[in-house]
């Protein structure tokens, strides 16, 4: 993935350094938890998309920095709140803020980072940036509730709406706003929004497949996590339609507490009926849609980068 980002590598390092500065606070604990989160790594996918999208018009790092930082801070804030409500102890193989400092600190640090993000985008003259980001955050919290209301229910519509709200819209906003921040017209930022949207859908589907098939050490958390929580993802929905053991799978899903053996058996059923391959086929359709959106954009090297990133989504293993 990293080599795909060669053309913005140095600027991403600057984004990272600025992120470390912006989370400074007279409250030592806030600064410490924010730094912990920053240093836990992560792909900085959303800032990267904003920078790449800006290449399609008049790239200017100074204009992009507040946006790029805000996108990552919003993403971090949602992770902090997710960890609290999911009582998660590990993320990306490292202990979560809540597992070290507790739920209170994690909740308030999330609010802090979210508010910080909004101070950054409030600087832009074009109000569209703050508007789109705030609306995306509204949708993201709606996505959380869609997920809760869909628990234990294998419902494709609920699944697609949820991953749209929880993942695709922020990636779409990253692509769109990177262009908007440099003054690009709709003919540039609308295809970029759609590229980001399709890519985000594909990204979440492959993420959900990885939760079933991944190597636990590479994933940095136990596999089958969604299943354990009653969160029904695409591979499971498809397995319930296609597997000869669908009824047994359904029984496991409905259990409110699942043993490790339950999870292992459910994963085997999903793996052995072609549901993960079929899910990746669906991800592939989104990827092809994403790539098609690039056609109308200027023929610059970044266009190839965006295409490679889309193609990389489905072959990644972490």
CA angle 137, 139, 144 (to 5 degrees): 95
C-beta of 142: minimal distance to its own copies in Å?
5
Binding mask 194-233 toward its own copies (x if CB under 8 A, else -) reads: ----------------------------------------
Among 138, 156, 264, 300, binds its own copies (CB under 8 A): 138
Distance (Å, whole) CA 98 – CA 29: 13
**CB nearer to its own copies: pick between 26 and 301:** 26
- Copy the structure tokens of residue 267: 């994963």
Among 64, 73, 137, 253, binds its own copies (CB under 8 A): 137
Q: What angle in degrees, to the nearest 10, is found between the helix axes of 169-181 and 45-54? A: 40
- Copy the structure tokens of residue 98: 């809540």
**CB nearer to its own copies: pick between 82 and 293:** 82
| 75 forms part of the interface with its own copies (CB under 8 A) | no
Among 8, 15, 19, 30, binds its own copies (CB under 8 A): 30
Distance (Å, whole) CA 82 – CA 230: 15
| 304 forms part of the interface with its own copies (CB under 8 A) | no
- Copy the structure tokens of residue 25: 């606070």
Q: Where on the phi/psi map is residue 155: left (φ > 0), alpha (ψ -120 to 50), or beta?
A: beta
Q: What angle in degrees, to the nearest 10, is found between the helix axes of 260-271 and 275-293? A: 60
Looking at 4-12, 48-56, 119-127, 179-187, which segment touches its own copies (CB under 8 A)? Answer: 119-127
Residue with tokens 């709709």: 186
| Interface positions with its own copies (CB under 8 A) | 25-30, 78, 81, 84-85, 103-105, 107-109, 111-112, 114-116, 118-119, 122-125, 127, 130-131, 133-135, 137-138, 140-142, 144-146, 148-149
């Amino acid at each position: 993935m990293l080599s795909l980002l060669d053309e913005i590598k140095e600027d991403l390092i600057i984004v990272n350094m600025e992120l470390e500065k912006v989370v400074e606070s007279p409250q030592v604990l806030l600064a410490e938890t924010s730094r912990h989160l920053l240093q836990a790594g992560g792909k900085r996918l959303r800032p990267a998309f904003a920078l790449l999208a800006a290449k399609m018009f008049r790239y200017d790092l100074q204009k992009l920095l507040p946006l790029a930082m805000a996108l990552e801070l919003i993403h971090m804030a949602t992770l902090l709140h997710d960890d609290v409500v999911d009582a998660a102890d590990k993320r990306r193989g490292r202990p979560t803020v809540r597992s070290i400092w507790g739920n209170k600190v994690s909740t308030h640090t999330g609010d802090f980072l979210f508010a910080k993000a909004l101070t950054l985008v409030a600087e832009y003259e074009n109000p569209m940036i703050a508007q789109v980001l705030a609306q995306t955050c509204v949708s993201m919290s709606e996505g959380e509730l869609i997920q809760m209301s869909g628990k234990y229910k294998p419902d494709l519509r609920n699944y697609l709406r949820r991953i749209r709200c929880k993942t695709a819209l922020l990636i779409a906003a990253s692509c769109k706003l990177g262009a908007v921040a440099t003054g690009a017209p709709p003919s540039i930022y609308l295809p970029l929004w759609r590229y980001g949207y399709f890519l985000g859908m594909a990204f979440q589907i492959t993420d959900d497949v990885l939760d079933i098939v991944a190597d636990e050490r590479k994933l940095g958390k136990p596999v089958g996590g969604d299943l354990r929580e009653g969160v029904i993802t695409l591979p499971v929905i498809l397995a319930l339609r296609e597997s000869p053991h669908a009824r047994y799978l359904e029984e496991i899903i409905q259990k409110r507490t699942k043993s490790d053996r339950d999870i292992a058996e459910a994963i085997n059923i999903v793996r052995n009926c072609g549901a993960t391959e079929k899910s990746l086929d669906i991800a592939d359709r989104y990827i092809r849609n994403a790539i098609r959106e690039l056609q109308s954009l200027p023929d610059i090297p970044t266009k190839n980068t965006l295409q490679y990133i889309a193609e990389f989504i489905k072959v990644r293993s972490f």
